[in-house]
Every structure is written in structure tokens, then in C-alpha cells.
Amino acid sequence: MTISPLQTARYAYEPKLPLILREDVKTIVPVLGEKTQSQSDREALSKLFPNTYGLPKVSFTKGSNPNTAKKLNVGVILSGGQAPGGHNVICGLYDALKKANPESCLYGFRGGPSGILEDKYVVLTDEIINSYRNTGGFDMIQSGRTKLETEEQFEVCTQVCHKHNINAIVIIGGDDSNTNAAILAEYFRKKGEDICVVGCPKTIDGDLKNESIETSFGFDTATKTYSELIGNICRDANSSRKYWHFIRLMGRSASHIALECAISTQPNICLVGEEVEARNQSIQDITNYIADIIAKRAANGDNYGICLVPEGLIEFVPSLKVLISEINDLVAKNEKEFSALHTTASKIAYIESLLTDESKKVFNSLPESIEAQLLLDRDPHGNVQVSLIETEKLFIETVKKRLAVLAKEGKYNGKFSAMNHFFGYEGRCAFPSNFDADYCYSLGYNAYFLLSAGLTGYLSSVTNLSKPAEQWNAGGIPITMMMNLEQRHGELKPVIKKALVELDGKPFKYFEKHRDEWAVTTSFLYPGAIQYFGPSEVCDTTTKTLALEQC
């Protein structure tokens, strides 16, 4: 197989670790800190997780660690959507495992959680690992979205672990995947099984974060990839000066990607879902905001610009949020009847007949194409797939109508030619940036020390990430610490609470301070491609968001 020179060079890249993890593996010792609690629903969660709730935080120090001499068999699972750096998590885990005891074995379960249920695996070797170091994608063992949530599934996991003498499972995934990891860890403890479960925080959406998980891996690479593409479009727009580009960006439950890309490229407009919800804005309010900026730029002779739209925006519009919640519940409760309908028109009519009067009014105000998209197949968690809802096209339509009204009122005299884009899959499997290569390798390496100490129900945690890698801190936090109860499939379920954009946080405040200027004055930035070789200040920097949060 022929490989590119860049790929060859990336194989040879040696990821940087926090100082404590650079010590001899036999001298890295876990230190238990204060016990933890969830942010909300404490009583209910403590009852749901009697064996793993309230565990202490973990850090590492130098000492003597006899546990590392043990032979361990570990299973690893990639769960959910791809994110740059997943391979390096596996590489870091593998290297630490083998350094501690070369007889230890790493089983890669193929195709996500279904791999352990079906006992589909590959025993990972130096040859396999070395051919995936510092590369994007999840193709080493592939991923999947099967949920581990039933007693029957957990019992199958138990039997597979017994069959291969597996001592621990590492689940690399986002909030839902790590929620499943916490439930599996609780099940093993309840059944008296000495099998540890450790998670690693993955999602390009950036919504799996707190003080101990400063960013989820893949966010840095994905946003830099999108920012390069946005910067290219900014330059094209500034060259031809005749198109308004409406760009929808991946990120279903939070606007972190859109905000990061806005700070990196300085577009004329960037919508932030959390602000839309806080201001109780309607589709018409948002439309008016966009149209007013277009009119102001047209008055200066600038009939072009860039508008960023977060993928999940539609769920932040209060009236639409209520509507979508109703539809999700109706589809879940009437699944048999709904599935029996074979035309879009019949599905629209059926759901419309069940909606409350207020939601029916909102539903009927949408273009039929958006109505249809709201009824498409749900994701495995019963939620609408917002990636299939073309919000950018919705706003192109509504803005066009609003500009026609402004023109009649003598408030707009310009030309509006719009183009739409969706940037999502382009960023999920990119070559990881140096930051993500280092961070992911550290997460995997770090995970070994948690599981070797017999700790279960933990997330691998590496912090102080805006500083050079040698100043990073390594440890672990209990997954239950990040959980709350949310409505899923019509029932309250324990899930990791998603971290939304904080409107009083430094990144949003920076954006808010500058956006009015960027709106009218063309101030585009052109970040260019991710750089892997050269000065550290060019190649090793993390996101603008994290730098602002920790400045």
C-alpha cells in the first residue's frame, strides 16, 4: 500500500506526555482526593449507582507501584461518531500496558459496543498499532452506536470478559457512551465482578467538559479543519464580493464549534444557540437580525458575507424546542403506528393531528421540507437528527423574504445571492493536530494507571491544557460526578450533563465584544491548514476557546 509522505512523517511523531507520565511506569502512583457529588439529582443518582457514586478524584504522584507488574488483559471500544485522535488514545493505552508488563494483552472490539456483544475482536500488536499512530479516523477497530443499557447486554459483556480473562474495559466515547460506561461499571460492581471500566472523553462537539475535562478530544482538530475551510470561503467571498455564504457547522447540542470557528475567522454573523434560547428568540427574530446586518453591509456596497449557523440551533429556539420535544415523545409513544406510514405527507398529517395547538401553529409555520426533516428517523437515543435539518437553507429562505419587505420599505437596496454549506464529516477524521495527538495519547496512557489500580467508573482526565504538555496534570474523575437525570424516550434517565456555551464565559464575552464590528467591517481571518512541523507557537497551540478560558 502506498502512503503519503505526511502519513509516513506522522507515524514517526512522538506525542508529548505530562511530566508525571514520563516517569518509569513502576513509579507512578494514584492518589485519592476528595469524594465527589453530582451537580444535581444527588439522591436519585446515589440510589441508581450505590457502588460507584461519590467516588474520590484521582491524581498521580511519584512512588512505588507494584500493581504495574501484573499481567492485564484489557478490552478497548470506540463508541459513537469519529473524532480525530481516537487512534492515539488506543496507542497510549497500548504503550503503557506493554511497558508495565509485555505479557499484557489489548483486545480491540470491532465496530463499537456491538463488538463486545458479538465477541468480534482483534488482539492488537506492535504491527497494527504502529500503522495507526497519529492518524485520523477510527478504522483501526471501527466504531458503532450500539447502546450498552440492558441487563442482558451487561451479562453478555460479563461472559465475554470471562472468556478472555479481561480485567478492564476502556470505552472511548462521548457523553452517552460514557454514561453507558458508568452503568456498566455499576453493574460489574453490583454483581461482584472484578472488572474495571474506564472512559475517555471524546466528541468534536466540545460539550463533554467541566473543570476536570477541559476539552473533549477531537474538538481542536475539527474546529481547525472547519476554520481553514471557512477562511477559504471568507477569502473567496472577499474576492468575488457577490455571495452570502450560510455555513452550518456540526454540533448538535451546543454551539462550541460555531463559537470557536467565529473567533478564529471573524465572520460577519455567527449565531449561538444558547444566546437564542436565553433571549427567547423566534425564527423571525433571528431572521430580522441577519437581514439587518445584510442591509447594513449593502448600504456600504458590500453585498457579500459569511453567516455561521450551529447545527443544533433549531433546538435552542424555544418554540421549536417545545415542538421537537413533543415530536420526539409522540414518535416514541406511537412508534408502531408512525412506522406503518409510508409517505411524508401521511407522517406530517399524523403528527400534526397529535400536537398541542401551540406546537401545531409553530409546525405549520415551517416550510414543508423542514417539517419533513423533523420527522426523519430518530437517533439511537430517540432524538431528532439535527444533522439532517438544513437550518442554513431555512434562513436563506426567511432572510430572502425579509429583505424583500425591507426593500419595499426603502431600507434595503442591494443584491442577495446566497450559497449554503454544511461542514461536518470533513472534520471528524482529519489528521489530528499536534495538540490532539498529544492529548489523546496522554488520555490513553493515563487510563492504564486508573485501571491498573482497580479504579472503575472513572473518566481519564488531563488538565491545564493551555500550557505546554510538560505542565499538564493527569488523573481521573468519577463519571457520576458529571451526571444528571434527563428525559429520554419519555422516561427520566441518568446521563452525563452536556456542557453548553456559557454566555458569561470569556470566549462568548470576547465574541460579543467584537461581533458588531465584524458584522459591518470586513475583518476576516484566514487560519490556513493545520501545521504539524515548525515553531511550537504555530504547531502546538490549542483552541482559542481554551486559551481564553484559562487566560
Domains and CATH numbers, the chain: 14-218+434-496 (3.40.50.450), 225-423+504-533 (3.40.50.460)
**Residue 39 carries which side chain, given as an amino acid letter?**
Q
Looking at residue 488, its pLDDT comes to 75
Question: pLDDT digit string (tens) for 369-399?
Answer: 888 999 987 766 667 777 788 999 999 999 9
Query: Is-contact 433 10, C-beta < 8 A?
Result: no
Catalytic choice (95, 205, 207, 220): 205
Looking at residue 376, its pLDDT comes to 85
pTM (predicted TM-score): 0.94
CB atoms within 10 A of CB 54: 16
Q: Which residues are within 8 A (CB) of 261 and not within 5 positions of it... i.e. 6 or more apart? A: 223, 226, 227, 230, 249, 267, 270, 308
Picking from 78, 199, 75, 88, the residue whose alpha carbon sits closest to that of residue 143 is 78
Looking at residue 365, its pLDDT comes to 86
CA gap 203, 61 in Å, rounded: 29
205 labelled catalytic:
yes
CB atoms within 10 A of CB 194: 11
Looking at residue 394, its pLDDT comes to 92
Picking from 190, 365, 398, the residue whose alpha carbon sits closest to that of residue 294 is 398
Question: Which residue shows C-alpha cell 456483544?
Answer: 117
* β-sheet bridge partners, residue 197: 169
Residue 35 has which C-alpha cell?
Answer: 469524594
Looking at residue 134, its pLDDT comes to 98
CA angle 536, 540, 541 (to 5 degrees): 105
Residues of the chain under the 70 pLDDT cut = 1, 379-382, 489-490
Residue 217 burial by Cβ neighbours in a 10 Å radius (0-12, 13-18, 19+): buried
Q: Which residues are within 8 A (CB) of 178 and not within 5 positions of it... i.e. 6 or more apart? A: 171, 199, 201, 208, 459, 479, 496
CA gap 456, 433 in Å, rounded: 30
